[in-house]
Amino acid sequence: MMMSLMFISGLHVFCSKRKHLLAMLLSLEFMVLISFMLLFFLLNTFSCELFFSMVFLVFSVCEGALGLSILVSMIRTHGNDFFQSFVVLQC
């Protein structure tokens, strides 16, 4: 019950804080962390092998590194991480 409440609060922050890319990335990482904890407790409860949790961690680290590289690229090209200053159709 507590994990689902934490996940919903992370989802709420992700949907409400759309001004800065960094705030969105932090809320996504929070939701991934809660999902990992839920997966770990679920696999432990059913006495399953924990290899899948390691694969999940690898993919979440790759997702975090990709998000940070997009953030750095956006700051270098536009000077900030506001979504209002980022124009997708710019040539």
Does residue 90 fall inside a structural domain? no
Per-residue model confidence as pLDDT tens digits over 36-70: 999 999 999 998 888 999 999 999 999 999 999 98
Q: Which residues pair with 20 in a beta bridge?
A: 82
Residue 77 has pLDDT above 70, yes or no: yes
Nearest to 24 by CA among 15, 32, 33: 15
Q: What is the pTM of this model?
A: 0.83
The domain tally of the chain equals: 1
Does residue 29 fall inside a structural domain? yes
Does residue 33 fall inside a structural domain? yes
**Measured between alpha carbons, how far is residue 54 from residues 33, 37, 59, 71 in Å?**
13, 12, 9, 26
Looking at residue 7, which CATH number applies to its domain?
A: 1.10.287.3510
